[in-house]
């Protein structure tokens, strides 16, 4: 159903091939004899020892814990030689020369890997990339990669000039530092030992085996896939007005009547880290985590503010009911379960929530992870990683597709309309920060240890660049995220290998990278809208005979369209800027205008977001479409007919515009849209042509599916809460005491660093006084006092 993109991997140039060192001519014989003896002893020992699957052994888990700086029990420390013997490939009873060479090379790899994740970590250098801190874009060629898995490490492979002709997926790892103990190898054979006994978790199952089984499945999956548009839109239903809306940007209210206001769900990720039962549940997994350290610093610090509860959820509920109640469908609270003896016995539930009330239960659902995770990923539960949970949030059940994802520290502080988050005309409301990311080389261990969200933004940027072409993509604003369940599912599942590898990260910071679901979904939505327009024009509208090649007559039509658009390119006011007219157009269709997100910056009806700032003064046909694209049959086709010229393949031209050279696709769309004053008509299949009428319906469905509007997020306030005095001076006094107008949306992020009980009580008191003053009226979902 889905087809992986084929990507071109250039052969390594001869000048980059590593030269093999030459042995010195004099004095080398003793060294060779010693090396031969070492190899023979190692092979003999390996021959006599029983082979063990290292991925399921306690030795492996201990090695992984050490490599990540975690806790290693004294009686579980394996030697390098033991690890080598466990990893020796099985291929017969008699050791061969190949086995000997493998043991020699693999022992060196283990040392390099040990230093890479241990002593040599501080000396690593990350690749140059394009983000908010660095202005210079890396020029490293794109390579296929795979995110490092949680319980597995790939060792560096010695370059071979012949074998390098075949490219394989590689795990992005940092360069290993020089081991100061290089050369110190124990030659005495170790006595035979019994296979290590697996340590069981509290539910009597082996966590590493569960995770590895899923990660092994991921290894066979492609990094990304192409989702055919006919598959993506198979559940989309048109009401009749959409063709006119997409093609010309007009809605005839007299013909179609008024549109119905949409209803959306609100979904919270919530945990009460102060509950003792929760602390007992999480403690078991904290102690087993590879992040755990001998001094217990990670356990004592990582969850101090991540799982702390200031009772914000109660007031966020009140804010939704007060300021978004007229379009709220349901409210879903996604929670952890409490475990006893390895079995979930109940779900965490806010103590103030009237879950037993049938009226409340109709619009409020408390959803444990066990009811949300897909069956194959349920082996990873419980998880305490918000990124892991977010990557499964589209599985929440509802009778509507659209939802807004919130944290419990987010509040709607002014009245909203549905159009502040979603509308049938313009789609999801998106907002972005000013900083952007464009990762052009595989992420490394250095990237994995960056602060906050950066590792996940960097990694997801790398995936988006490989799938849709290299460009700088801004990070999403830190507030509620307006999303479609079906589009989010498509976006996450479009990256099969990263999706699986992201599923079993129990805590943030565990080895490997994770998909950043909000960032991935937002930019997947934007890129798919652009992609369907290019696909429509090149593959459907222009390839009239559908033979897969753009003939000279078909190319002439494209050249004529570009020339017509060029005539209007300098007329700044020729094309209507629909984003300026969003409130008016919504009201004309019978929908309420936005009340908070009133400053629209762009709509998908204006075209792909990328064309907004595209500089197309030097648009080149030969570079952007194909060499000789504009040359007629008297010259190009006298050498070879265009029907046999692969350069004019419609699929090749489409991929060139959509992915290989994104700026070319941007400028092509921008030029073509200059033919009309409003709408996307010049890019759609012809309505008057019988053969293209069905294709046009498919494209209209896709354009409506991937619609969006980008807004200015300035009417929001994000506060990093540090202490009680700050709450009083920056929030309570101006907004409560002095009645200053509140922003439309408020986020109170817990950044309290103190562990002093008296100071924490002061912060809690100040927070509750502020929230109670802002939202004094109880929600209908609360229990009576």
Unique residue bearing structure tokens 């009237």: 354
Determine the average pLDDT of the residues in 373-394: 91
Question: What pLDDT band is residue 305 in, cutting at 50, 70 and 90?
Answer: low
Alpha carbon of 511 to those of 152, 290, 291, 454, 506: distances in Å?
9, 8, 9, 15, 11
What is residue 166's three-state secondary structure? coil
SS3 331: strand
What pLDDT, on the 0 to 100 scale, is given for residue 399?
Answer: 96
Instruction: Give the sign of the dihedral formed by CA 762, CA 765, CA 769, CA 772.
Output: positive
Q: How many CB atoms lie within 10 A of CB 623?
A: 14
Question: With contact defined as beta carbons under 8 Å apart, do 288 and 201 qualify?
Answer: yes
Per-residue confidence (pLDDT) for residue 342, from 0 to 100: 84
| Structure confidence by residue, pLDDT tens digits, 65-93 | 444 444 444 343 333 333 333 333 443 44
Encode pLDDT of 110-140 as tens digits.
334 433 433 333 333 444 344 444 433 333 3
DSSP state of 247: H
Among 64-73, 197-206, 301-310, 572-581, which stretch is predicted with the lowest mean pLDDT? 197-206
Give the phi and the psi of residue 329 in degrees, each rounded to 5: -90, -65
Confidence tier at 43 by pLDDT (50, 70, 90): low
The residues with which 427 forms a beta bridge, in sequence order, are: 423
Q: Which residue has the higher pLDDT, 383 or 380?
A: 383
- Reply yes or no on whether the pLDDT at 644 is more than 90: no
Decide which of 51 and 312 is more confident: 312
Confidence at residue 170, expressed as pLDDT on a 0 to 100 scale: 36
Distance, CA of 780 to CA of 300 (rounded, Å): 37
CA separation for the pair 714, 599 (Å, rounded): 9
Average confidence score pLDDT of the chain: 79
Handedness of CA 118, 124, 127, 131 (dihedral sign): positive
Q: Whole-model pTM?
A: 0.75
Provide DSSP, 14-29: GGGSPPPPPPPSSS-H
Mean pLDDT of 387-391: 94
Q: Convert the pLDDT of each residue in 466-495 to its tens digit.
A: 999 999 999 999 899 999 999 999 999 999
Q: Are 207 and 56 in contact (CB under 8 A)?
A: no
Which of 159, 179, 40 is closest to 108 using CA atoms? 179
**How many other C-beta atoms can be found within 10 angstroms of the C-beta atom of residue 286?**
20
- The CA R_g of the chain, rounded to the nearest whole Å, is 30
Q: Is the dihedral of CA 544, 545, 550, 556 positive or negative?
A: negative
CB within 8 Å of 31: residues ≥ 6 apart: none
Mean pLDDT on 645-674:
95
Lowest mean pLDDT: which of 199-208, 270-279, 379-388? 199-208
**Residue 343 tokens, joined:** 């079995």
Q: What is the pLDDT of residue 651?
A: 96
Residue 743 binned pLDDT confidence (cut-offs 50, 70, 90): very high
User: For 367-386, what is the mean pLDDT?
Assistant: 91
Tokens of residue 229, six digits: 């548009």
- For residue 78, report the phi and psi dihedrals to the nearest 5 degrees: -85, 155
Tell me how far apart the alpha carbons of residues 457 and 647 are, in angstroms, rounded to a whole number: 35
**Extents of the domains making up the chain:** 3-123+146-219, 261-423+426-431+479-515+712-774, 528-705
* Residues contacting residue 455 through CB under 8 Å, at least 6 positions apart: 443, 447, 448, 449, 513
DSSP run (H or E) holding 95: none
What is the tens place of the pLDDT at every residue in 530-562?
A: 999 999 999 999 999 999 999 999 999 999 999
pLDDT of residue 62 exceeding 70: no
* Residue 299 pLDDT greater than 80, yes or no: yes
3-state DSSP percent of the chain in helix, strand and coil, to 5:
45, 10, 45
């Amino acid at each position: 159903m889905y087809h992986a993109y084929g990507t071109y991997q250039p052969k390594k140039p001869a000048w980059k091939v590593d030269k093999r060192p030459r042995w010195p001519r004099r004095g080398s014989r003793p060294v060779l004899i010693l090396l031969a003896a070492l190899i023979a002893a190692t092979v003999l020992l390996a021959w006599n020892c029983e082979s063990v699957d290292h991925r399921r052994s306690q030795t492996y888990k201990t090695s992984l814990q050490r490599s990540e700086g975690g806790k290693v029990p004294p009686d579980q420390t394996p030697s390098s030689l033991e690890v080598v013997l466990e990893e020796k490939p099985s291929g017969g009873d008699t050791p061969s020369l190949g086995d000997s060479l493998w043991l020699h090379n693999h022992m060196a790899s283990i040392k390099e890997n040990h230093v890479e994740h241990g002593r040599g970590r501080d000396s690593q250098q990350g690749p140059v990339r394009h983000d908010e801190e660095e202005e210079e874009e890396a020029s490293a060629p794109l390579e296929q990669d795979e995110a490092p898995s949680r319980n597995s490490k790939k060792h560096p492979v010695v370059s071979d000039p012949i074998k390098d002709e075949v490219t394989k997926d590689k795990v992005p790892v940092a360069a290993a530092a020089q081991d100061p103990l290089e050369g110190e190898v124990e030659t005495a054979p170790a006595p035979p030992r019994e296979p290590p006994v697996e340590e069981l978790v509290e539910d009597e199952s082996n966590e590493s085996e569960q995770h590895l089984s899923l990660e092994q499945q991921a290894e066979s999956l492609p990094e990304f896939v192409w989702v055919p548009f006919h598959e993506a839109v198979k559940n989309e239903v048109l009401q009749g007005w959409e063709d006119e809306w997409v093609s010309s940007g007009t809605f005839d209210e007299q013909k179609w009547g008024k549109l119905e206001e949409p209803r959306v769900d609100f979904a919270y990720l919530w945990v009460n880290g102060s509950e003792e039962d929760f602390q007992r549940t999480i403690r078991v997994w904290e102690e087993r985590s590879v992040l755990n350290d001998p001094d217990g610093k990670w356990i004592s610090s990582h969850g101090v503010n991540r799982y702390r509860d200031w009772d914000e959820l109660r007031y966020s509920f009140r804010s939704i009911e007060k300021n978004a109640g007229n379009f709220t469908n349901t409210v879903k609270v996604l929670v952890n379960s409490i475990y006893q003896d390895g079995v979930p016995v109940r779900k965490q539930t806010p103590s103030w929530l009237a879950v037993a009330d049938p009226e409340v239960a109709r619009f409020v659902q408390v959803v444990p992870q066990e009811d949300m995770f897909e069956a194959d990923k349920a082996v990873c539960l419980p998880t305490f990683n918000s990124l892991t949970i977010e990557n499964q949030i589209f599985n929440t059940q509802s009778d509507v597709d659209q939802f807004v994802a919130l944290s419990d520290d987010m509040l709607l502080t002014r009245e909203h309309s549905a159009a502040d988050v979603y509308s049938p005309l313009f789609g999801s409301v998106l907002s972005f920060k000013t900083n952007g990311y464009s990762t052009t080389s595989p992420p490394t261990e250095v990237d994995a240890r960056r602060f906050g969200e950066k590792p996940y933004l960097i990694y997801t940027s790398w995936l988006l660049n490989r799938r849709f072409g290299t460009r700088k993509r801004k990070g999403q604003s830190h507030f509620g995220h307006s999303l479609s369940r079906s589009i989010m599912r498509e976006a996450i599942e479009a990256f099969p290998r990263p999706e699986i590898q992201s599923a079993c990260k129990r805590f943030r910071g565990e080895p490997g990278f994770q998909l950043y679901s909000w960032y991935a979904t937002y930019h997947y939505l934007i890129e798919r809208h652009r992609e369907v327009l290019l696909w429509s024009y090149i593959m459907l509208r222009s390839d009239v005979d559908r033979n897969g090649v753009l003939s000279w007559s078909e190319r002439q039509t494209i050249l004529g369209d570009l020339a017509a658009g060029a005539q209007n390119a300098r007329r700044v006011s020729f094309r209507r800027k629909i984003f300026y007219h969003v409130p008016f157009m919504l009201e004309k269709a019978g929908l309420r205008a936005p009340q908070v997100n009133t400053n629209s910056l762009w709509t998908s009806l204006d075209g792909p977001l990328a064309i907004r700032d595209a500089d197309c003064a030097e648009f080149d046909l030969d570079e952007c479409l194909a060499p000789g694209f504009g040359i007629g049959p008297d010259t190009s086709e006298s050498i070879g007919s265009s029907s046999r010229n692969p350069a004019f393949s419609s699929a090749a031209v489409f991929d060139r515009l959509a992915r290989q050279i994104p700026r070319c696709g941007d400028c092509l769309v921008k030029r073509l849209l200059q033919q009309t004053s409003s709408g996307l008509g010049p890019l759609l299949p012809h309505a008057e042509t019988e053969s293209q009428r069905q294709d046009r319906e498919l494209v209209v469905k896709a354009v409506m599916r991937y619609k969006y509007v980008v807004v200015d997020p300035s009417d929001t306030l994000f506060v990093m809460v540090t202490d009680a005095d700050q709450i009083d001076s920056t929030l309570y006094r101006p907004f409560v005491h002095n009645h200053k107008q509140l922003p439309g949306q408020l986020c109170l992020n817990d950044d309290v660093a103190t562990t002093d009980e008296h100071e924490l009580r002061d912060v809690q008191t100040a927070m509750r006084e502020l929230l109670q003053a802002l939202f004094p009226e109880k929600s209908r979902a609360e229990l009576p006092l």
